[in-house]
Amino acid sequence: MKKLSIKLYLVFYCTMISLATSCITPYEPDVEWINDLLVVEGAIIAPYGTIIHINRTNEGSSSFYDPNLTNKKAVVTLISDKGTTIATAQNTTGSSYMITDSISFKPGEKYAIHFLINGKEYQSDFVEPQITPEIDEVNYQYKELEEVDIRVSTHNDDPDASRYYRWTYKEDWEIVSEYFAQYTWSYENGIQKLNQFSPENVHYCWASKTSNRILLSKSDNFSENKIKDHTILSLGAADSRFSYLYSISIQQQALDRKAYEYLENMRKNVEQTGGIFAPQPTEIKGNITCLSNPEEIIIGYIYATTETSYRLYIKAEDVPGMTDIYDCREKQLFSGRELEKAYGQGFAILSEGAVSGTYFCMNRRCVDCRSRGGTKNKPDFWPNNHQ
């Protein structure tokens, strides 16, 4: 097989609590690439359904995306080892296949994903579902003016329960400008007056981010099946996340031992060597087989589990000194004709000057939350009435 150096997008998934959707986050190390391998990833999660991604490493592409597969839809089904076809997945976008039916794991049953594509038949191993315990707590450790560590704790008193855990997360935060801008300017529309209480204001913004690492831990070396204050994420100082209000929603999954070992091997390969093929691709083969050609190498692993979640909020005043700081004292006066130059120098309009046709301008990051990575897309669950 031919090797070439390209960018790899490792695809990680987080299932939303309310419906079976997934978060796809790019991770882009430079790797030595082995061309034309099938890549299958996903998890069977009860009761929310499941989403499976089927793709192929593709020469000339900067990702797993293969347009040849997009045009050849797979038939993807969830099956049990009792011979039952539980549900058929619907193709959503590109290479994604989603089962939105509510899934209920039955005692003693194991589950697998079966699919047909390009005239070939594939199937994952039958796996026993793992029941995920509730998250006991998500807290944070504040190292003054230095770092905020987000930590998770969980336990399971069932002696037969899994001791292997995986987490994903989604962050959301509100960015609030230091000053209200009374005007804004753009090449398209020129000078526009702003109402600070309208949705068009540039005082309040929101931003979000999903996890892009494989986050794992285990308790098999301890007498108790307990994870205490395991750090999920560390955030440094001078971060816009702590401008006003920060939130993180953590999803927890219990894994069987083989799924944990597969994901841990993937994590080590990516973080220590910069690629998934280290030292041989057969070591990350996973649990998916081509029934039509058992010698075919396929990357990926399908596991079955339930999922629990926990949301934490952190206010800016709880972690003083952690937000990004800008010099917001200096104001400069520009005429309307000079605003293009002002914006090119990193200024934005704060207010109108005493002389008609003049405007006080300030560092854009002090008055326009969009310049700090924010948008006006407020999360539906956000706990205040800012707009």
pLDDT tens-digit profile of 219-233? 999 999 999 999 999
pLDDT confidence of residue 202: 92
Share of the chain above pLDDT 70, in %: 84
pLDDT confidence of residue 8: 34
User: Residue 281 pLDDT more than 70?
Assistant: no
Range from 2-6, 10-14, 271-275 that averages highest in pLDDT: 271-275
User: Residue 62 pLDDT more than 50?
Assistant: no
User: Residue 47 pLDDT more than 80?
Assistant: yes
> If you write DSSP's letter for every residue of 293-321 in order, what string do you get?
-TT--EE--EEEEEEEEEEEEEEGGGSTT
Average pLDDT over residues 279-294: 77
Average pLDDT over residues 141-167: 97
Share of the chain above pLDDT 90, in %: 69
pLDDT confidence of residue 6: 27
pLDDT confidence of residue 5: 31
Widest CA span of the chain, in angstroms? 82
Average pLDDT over residues 350-373: 95
> Comparing 69 with 311, which gets the higher pLDDT?
311
Tokens 């002090």 label which residue?
366
> Measured between alpha carbons, how far is 11 from 270 in angstroms, rounded to an integer?
12
Domain ranges of the chain: 3-131+253-309
pLDDT confidence of residue 31: 41
> Comparing 348 with 33, which gets the higher pLDDT?
348
Number of H helices, E strands in the chain: 4, 25
Q: pTM of the predicted model, to two decimals? A: 0.85
DSSP state, 272? I
Average pLDDT over residues 342-362: 95
Task: Please provide the average confidence, as pLDDT, over all residues in the chain.
Answer: 86
pLDDT confidence of residue 34: 62
**Range with the lowest mean pLDDT among 32-36, 101-105, 196-200?**
32-36
Q: What is the pLDDT of residues 8-32, one digit of tens each?
A: 333 333 332 233 333 434 334 344 4
**Is there a contact between 64 and 57 (Cβ–Cβ < 8 Å)?**
yes
- Beta-carbon contacts of 171 under 8 Å, excluding residues fewer than 6 positions away, are 208, 209, 210, 233, 241, 246, 247, 248
Collapse the DSSP code of 263 into the 3-class scheme (helix H, G, I; strand E, B; otherwise coil) and give the result. Answer: helix
First to last CA, the chain: 54
**Range with the lowest mean pLDDT among 101-110, 122-131, 158-167?**
101-110
Average pLDDT over residues 159-185: 96
- In the chain, the amino acid numbered 84 is T
> Comparing 276 with 183, which gets the higher pLDDT?
183
**Range with the lowest mean pLDDT among 65-69, 331-335, 363-367?**
65-69
Collapse the DSSP code of 348 into the 3-class scheme (helix H, G, I; strand E, B; otherwise coil) and give the result. Answer: strand
pLDDT confidence of residue 274: 57
Confidence category of residue 55, pLDDT binned at 50, 70, 90: confident
pLDDT confidence of residue 57: 74
**Structure-block tokens of residue 178:** 């230091």
- Buried b / exposed e along 244-257 (16+ C-beta atoms within 10 A): bbbbbbbbbbbbbe
Q: Is the dihedral of CA 283, 284, 289, 295 positive or negative?
A: negative
> Measured between alpha carbons, how far is 300 from 169 in angstroms, rounded to an integer?
21
- In the chain, the amino acid numbered 208 is S
**Is there a contact between 382 and 194 (Cβ–Cβ < 8 Å)?**
no
Range from 33-47, 101-115, 192-206 that averages highest in pLDDT: 101-115
Q: What is the dihedral of CA 43, 378, 315, 140, to 10 degrees?
A: 10
- Beta-carbon contacts of 376 under 8 Å, excluding residues fewer than 6 positions away, are 199, 205, 206, 370
Nearest of 9, 105, 10 to residue 50 by alpha carbon: 105
- Buried b / exposed e along 283-297 (16+ C-beta atoms within 10 A): ebbbbbbeeeeeeeb
Average pLDDT over residues 144-168: 97
pLDDT confidence of residue 50: 87
Nearest of 93, 168, 113 to residue 286 by alpha carbon: 113
pLDDT confidence of residue 58: 62
